[in-house]
Structure 1
Amino acid sequence: MVRLLAKRLVAAAVIVVALATSVFVLQRLSPLDPAKAMLGPGASASAVAQQRAKLGLDDPFAAQLGRYLVGLPQGDLGMSYRTRRPVMTDLGAFVPATAELAFTAIVLALLLGIFFAVSTSLRWPGASVLRGVLMAGASAPAFLLGIGAILVFYKQLGWLPASGRSSITDLPGGPSGLLVLDGLLAGRFDVVSDALKHLVLPALAISFGPSVAIGRVLRTSLSSEERSDYARTARAKGLTDGAVLRRHVLRNAVGPALSMTGLQVGLMFAGVLVVEQIFAWPGIGQYTAQSIPVADFPAIAGVTLLLGIGYVVINTVVDILQGLADPRITT
């Protein structure tokens, strides 16, 4: 297990460095002059030259890349052309909202996927209806699900809010920026309830597609394991199908589902950025949407790098969990 952990951590570090290098190269390939973008179109040539020297843009490419890679562990992602603030400062204001939404969507996707697989495998009553609903939802893009959810659950039924993170004005001031967690820590259950209501629709819109992908892989793996010799032996000893599933089959079947979860995380991140626009969610999707029209490349690169690192971290965790679930995995 130690060997697996070391290999995964080294691989993750290499991938992050390669991603950071690619992001830096793409920024430098842009025809936009960062110094002129920061000073504005009316800046004089001498002012632009001074700003280029200040930013180190006249240094050799290798020196610029080295500074960029050395600065990343310290949180130096450059200055935003639009806000004139460090990109890391901007992300610090937007990331908590996105993290809360993404985490909720991942949890929902896992729960729905497991329920989908187990209910189908054990042939629970109503499992076919659930499977039909999930399959229909997974066939639609996340933005369309979001719009449909707003029309049904907000406009027609009035059950859930359609935009923002909260309807409460006097929110707790921290420490995490996650409204549900901060509300619990402050004993503000009104904040917790309101934040959860705002999370339901966007999180469901993001999680439907991944939940079906995870559920189908898990169901196939469960079906295969249930036909194995050890499962038949357990039933011959008098165990019920549910007991066989809980005690023997599930752990052996979870590996492929974990792999699919890691693959789906990237799609979920993309869905988060789109769904945030529909629900006016104040996360990095909003920040990116505001940065693209003005070609704010440091901000766009910062978001890209952050999402890439998140994807690598989650897949590394998935690999480690697979090793814990199946001790035979050593590489």
Structure 2
Amino acid sequence: MLTLIAKRVAAGALIMAILTAVLFWLQRFATGDPVRTRLGAGASQDVVNAAREQLGLNDPVAVQYFRYVGGILHGDLGMSLRTGRPVEADLARFIPATAELTFIAFVLAILLAAVFAVASALRWPGGRFLRALLTVGGAIPSFLVAIAGIILFYKHLGWLPVTGRTSMANAPNGPTGILTIDALLSGRFDALADIWRHLLLPSLVLALGPALAIGRVLRSSILVTLASDHVRTARSIGQSEVSVMVRHVLRNSVGPALSMAGLQLGLMFASVLVVETVFAWPGLGQYVALSIPVDDFPATAGVVLVLAAGYVAINTIVDILQAAADPRIAT
């Protein structure tokens, strides 16, 4: 197990090193002059040249690269050309909203996938309807599902809000920045209900695709396990279906689903940027949407690095959990 952990951590570090190098070179060849963007179009050429010298942009490429990597290792992601603040400070404001939305959506995806897989494999009543619903929802692009949800649940039914994280002017603000946790810590259950109403639709839109993918893999694995000898033996000695499912089927079926869950969570990091834009969610998606039109490459690169680090870390954890569930993988 320790060898597996060491290999996964080393592979993750290598991926991040390659991504850092790619971002550095993309920044060098990006359109627009970052110094001119920061100082404004009216700055004289002498002022621009002095700023380039001060920022070290005239240094050799190797020096600039190692300075860039050293800054990242120390948490310095550069200065946003749009806001004029350190990128890491901007990200600290936007990450909690994205983390909250992604976590809730991932939990919903796991729950929907489990219900979909078990209901389909055991032929529960309503299993076909759930399968059809998830298939349709997962096959449509997330932004179209989001627009359809807005039209149905906001415009026609008026059940759910569709913009922002809360409609309350005095909503809890701190210490975590994750509003659901902050509302619980402050005992503001009125705010918690409003926060959940704002979370429900975007998190459900974000969860549909991953739920379908994870559910399909888990269903196939469950069907294979149900036909195995040890399951037939457990049934023949009188164990209940619940006991068979919990003790013998799910544990032996969860490995492939864990791998798919890690992959889908990584893909969810990309989808969340689109969903946040549609629902005006004040997270990393909004930050990127405001940064790209003004060629704010440091801000965009900072978001890419944060999401990539999260993706690598989560997939490493998933590999370790999969090995714990099936020790044969660690050998």
Partner of 1:242: 242
**Larger deviation, residues 137-146 vs 236-245:** 236-245
Partner of 2:93: 93
Partner of 1:143: 143
TM-score by length of 1: 0.97
Please state if 1:310 is matched with 2:316: no
In 1, the alpha carbon distance for the partners of 2:67 and 2:26 equals: 16
Please state if 1:120 is matched with 2:120: yes
In 2, the alpha carbon distance for the partners of 1:316 and 1:55 equals: 36
Alpha-carbon deviations, 1:158-178, whole Å to 9, x = none? 111111100111122311100
Q: Once superposed, which parts of structure 1, at least 4 consecutive aligned residues long, lie more than 2 Å away?
A: none
Task: Letter of the 1:203 partner, please give it.
Answer: S
Q: Is the 8 A contact 1:146 1:275 kept in 2?
A: yes
Please state if 1:56 is matched with 2:56: yes
Displacement of 1:18: 1.4
What aligned pairs does 1:16-27 form with structure 2 within 5 A after superposition?
16-27=16-27
What aligned pairs does 1:15-94 form with structure 2 within 5 A after superposition?
15-94=15-94
Please state if 1:191 is matched with 2:168: no
Displacement of 1:267: 2.0
In 1, the alpha carbon distance for the partners of 2:62 and 2:226 equals: 56
Q: Is the 8 A contact 1:80 1:298 kept in 2?
A: yes
In 1, the alpha carbon distance for the partners of 2:186 and 2:81 equals: 37
Task: Letter of the 2:113 partner, please give it.
Answer: G
**Larger deviation, residues 292-301 vs 3-12:** 3-12
Displacement of 1:266: 2.6
Displacement of 1:240: 2.8
Task: Letter of the 1:171 partner, please give it.
Answer: A
In 1, the alpha carbon distance for the partners of 2:177 and 2:270 equals: 22
Q: Is the 8 A contact 1:183 1:191 kept in 2?
A: yes
Task: Letter of the 1:315 partner, please give it.
Answer: N
Q: Is the 8 A contact 2:163 2:281 kept in 1?
A: yes
Displacement of 1:280: 0.9
Please state if 1:165 is matched with 2:172: no
Partner of 1:104: 104
Percent pairwise identity: 57
Q: Is the 8 A contact 1:122 1:242 kept in 2?
A: no
**Larger deviation, residues 232-241 vs 222-231:** 232-241
What aligned pairs does 1:172-211 form with structure 2 within 5 A after superposition?
172-211=172-211
- Structure 2: stretches of 5+ with no match in the other structure: none
Partner of 1:212: 212
Alpha-carbon deviations, 1:31-64, whole Å to 9, x = none? 4222112111221111111111111111111111
Partner of 1:232: 232
Q: Is the 8 A contact 1:122 1:241 kept in 2?
A: no
In 2, the alpha carbon distance for the partners of 1:73 and 1:276 equals: 28
Q: Is the 8 A contact 1:137 1:208 kept in 2?
A: yes
TM-score by length of 2: 0.97
- The secondary structure found in structure 1 opposite 2:330 is coil
Alpha-carbon deviations, 1:108-161, whole Å to 9, x = none? 111111110011112111111111111111111111111111111111111111
Displacement of 1:258: 0.8
Task: Letter of the 2:138 partner, please give it.
Answer: A
Task: Letter of the 2:245 partner, please give it.
Answer: L
- The secondary structure found in structure 2 opposite 1:198 is helix
Please state if 1:297 is matched with 2:291: no
Q: Is the 8 A contact 1:101 1:203 kept in 2?
A: yes
Task: Letter of the 2:299 partner, please give it.
Answer: A
In 2, the alpha carbon distance for the partners of 1:260 and 1:161 equals: 31
Partner of 1:251: 251
Task: Letter of the 1:140 partner, please give it.
Answer: I
RMSD of aligned C-alpha atoms? Answer: 1.1
In 2, the alpha carbon distance for the partners of 1:263 and 1:172 equals: 33
Aligned residues: 331
Task: Letter of the 1:111 partner, please give it.
Answer: L
Alpha-carbon deviations, 1:72-126, whole Å to 9, x = none? 1222111111111111111111111111101111111111111100111121111
Task: Letter of the 1:262 partner, please give it.
Answer: G
